[in-house]
Structure 1
Amino acid sequence: MSNKITSITRRNIWDGILITGIDPFGRLEEPDFLGRIWDLSGLPSTDNRFRDAYRDIWQHRINNYDWDESWLLSDSRINLLNCDDSIFLQFLCETIHPVIRNDSTEISKLIQHYNDNLFPDGYKIIEKARISDKPIFAGVKREFTEEHLIKKNQEIKKRLSADYVMQQITLMESSIETSPHISIGISKELIETCCKTIFEERKKEYDKNWDLPRLMKETTKLLKLTPNDIPNEVKAASSIRQILGSLSSVVQGIGEIRNEYGSGHGKDGKFVGLQPRHAKLAVGAASTLAIYLLETHEIKD
């Protein structure tokens, strides 16, 4: 089967890693990292002084450091540009494995970078399990129905450029399939962040004790989005009022789902969580609402 992840995508991912300054091999030396994926002791050496690839790589990347950083893209033994998609995805997931790296900021940046580049080729990196409460990631095919969610969240990232928000959106996307409760919890936090950002950018005060429905209500007032703000002469005024009046119901629903099933509260041993489709509903609703609020804020600013 031919690869879906193109050499262009692979090179862009590798170049992006180098640009960030994040060491892809983390805690390990390069040959030890690569040995988690390839059997280096069974691969030949290109240097006749050494009997296998492990010693060869160690000599030229650790001891002498006379190979450039991109040697593994075209080396016939590793061939990161053309190896099977599954191997390439495994390589990416190893760079964010807890054995390799424990810096959550670096992990979030790498996941975001990987998924932004893998998106056109139909793949994504998601959390599949946890070990010692640390996430283990896997590369999977992206569902067609997820495309609109990702595009929405990319729009939000453009408008809310804070590193924290971008990390949260990345986590929200990557947790839908394996940890729906996390995505649900973050979807509520996303709306809260958008509302508070609007208040702050308009230099207006808000009460930190407001719950989500109250915060949303005050935000719509600030943006003049309440049903009473729609004049009668506007076409379809009644329909617009009905939609605007439903915003509070959407927010309240997301808040209640989060309280019952999200990541914000402890659960007993008999707790049964929601399915990924429910997380997609919450994330989709939160993303749509966030974009609407931010676009209105920009237009009326």
Structure 2
Amino acid sequence: MTSFKVGALLRFLAEMLHPVVRRDPAEVQRLAGKFNELLAVDGFELYPAEYISGLPIYAGGARATFHGARPDWKFEARPLLTDPRVLHEHQERIRAGLERDPAAAIASCKELVESLCKIILEQQGIDFPPGEDLPPLFKRVTPLLGMNADAVADHAKASATVVKILRTLTTTVQGLAELRNQLGLGHGRTAPSPALTRHARLALNSTVTVTEFVLDTWQDRIDRGKLPPRSL
């Protein structure tokens, strides 16, 4: 297929997902997933190029990496995130910086996880100091969502392995904060950051793992009545 035909096809599929054409975010997500499964075989993908009223406007292009050229958490499809605009802002900064400004992308990865922790704590009515950094914030979220090692039943099958993985999540968050301090922006650096694109993608992959598990666990706890849906 010629590049012209590929471009035309990608534009047509993107139009099918436009908020004016389809109003249901869940349907858009489902269709985008199906389209990308088929497109990935030939090395292409659809990705949110911009947002309008929190809804994605898709574009198409070559798929360059594991998460695609434009990583997308699909926050608008998460019912618990009633106002995900700040998360979208972090996501856009990550996308913009992966290749052009890895240090900024690393900083935005850390800030995305930090913002998510604050959103969860605020919505569940849990107080925290205004200037608290990511590691202590995450330590407040883990027991709330039953993600700490103490929450795993001793009799659970493979419980030792689950405990190790949960502890690794905490270590990953700590590492993300340290990576931002060492390679990211902030703290009045006196020399340019040595961050490379591969470092930014390491931060991205870590952020995807942590945020998706946290969001899935939060939804599960709400669905099973372990947490109230929102603070009063």
Q: For residues 191-212 of structure 1, give each alpha carbon's deviation from its aligned partner in whole angstroms, at most 9, with x where no partner exists.
A: 1111111112212222223221
1:149 positional shift: 7.4
Number of the residue aligned with 2:171 = 249
Aligned counterparts, 1:71-110, within 5 A = 109=51
In the aligned structure 1, how far is the partner of 2:218 from the partner of 2:193? 39
Letter in 2 for 1:249: T
Q: How does 1:250-265 map to 2 (within 5 A)?
A: 250-265=172-187
For the aligned residue pairs, the C-alpha RMSD in angstroms reads 2.9
Aligned counterpart, 1:205: 127
CA change 1:197–1:10 in 2 (3 A) is same
Q: Is the 8 A contact 1:109 1:167 kept in 2?
A: no
1:30-72 deviation digits (Å, cap 9, x = unpaired): xxxxxxxxxxxxxxxxxxxxxxxxxxxxxxxxxxxxxxxxxxx
CA deviations 1:81-105 (Å, max 9, x no partner) are xxxxxxxxxxxxxxxxxxxxxxxxx
User: How big is the shift at 1:293?
Assistant: 0.9
- In 2, the alpha carbon distance for the partners of 1:149 and 1:11 equals 17
Aligned positions, number: 188
Distance of aligned partners of 1:232 and 1:185 in 2 relative to their CA distance in 1, 3 Å threshold: same
Whichever residue aligns with residue 185 of structure 2, its letter is S
Amino acid in the other structure paired with 1:271 = P
Q: Give the TM-score normalised by the residue count of structure 1.
A: 0.55
SS of structure 2 residue aligned to 1:224: coil
Kindly indicate whether residue 67 of structure 2 is the aligned counterpart of residue 146 of structure 1.
Answer: yes
Q: % of aligned pairs identical?
A: 25
**Match of residue 209 from structure 2:** 288
Give the structure 2 partner of residue 234 of structure 1. 156
Correspondent of 2:141 among 188, 196, 219: 219
Closer, same or farther in 2 for the Cα pair 1:8/1:271, shift >3 Å?
closer
Could you say which residue in structure 1 is the equivalent of 2:8?
6
Shift of 1:179: 0.9
3-state DSSP of counterpart to 1:205:
coil
1:183 aligns with 2:125: no
Superposition deviation, residue 259 in structure 1: 1.1
Deviation at 1:275, TM superposition (A): 1.1
1:188, 1:219 → 2: CA distance? 15
Normalised to the residue count of structure 2, the TM-score between the two structures is 0.70
Runs of 4+ more than 6 Å apart: none
Higher relative contact order by CA 8 Å / sep ≥ 6: 1 or 2? 2
Shift of 1:272: 4.1
Match of 1:163 among 69, 73, 85: 85
**Which of the two has higher C-alpha Rg?**
1
C-alpha distance in structure 2 between counterparts of 1:157 and 1:18, whole Å: 16
Match of 1:145, SS state, is coil
CA distance in 1, matches of 2:100, 2:19: 25
Query: Cα 1:232–1:258, aligned 2, differ >3 Å: closer, same or farther?
Result: same
- Consecutive unaligned residues of structure 2, counting only runs of 5 or more, are 22-48, 223-232
Q: CA deviation at 1:16?
A: 5.3
Q: Distance in 2 between matches of 1:188 and 1:204?
A: 21
Q: 1:158 to 1:181 in 2, by over 3 A?
A: farther
Cross-structure match for 1:279: 200
Shift in Å at residue 142 of structure 1?
Answer: 3.5
- Cα distance, 1:219 vs. partner? 0.6
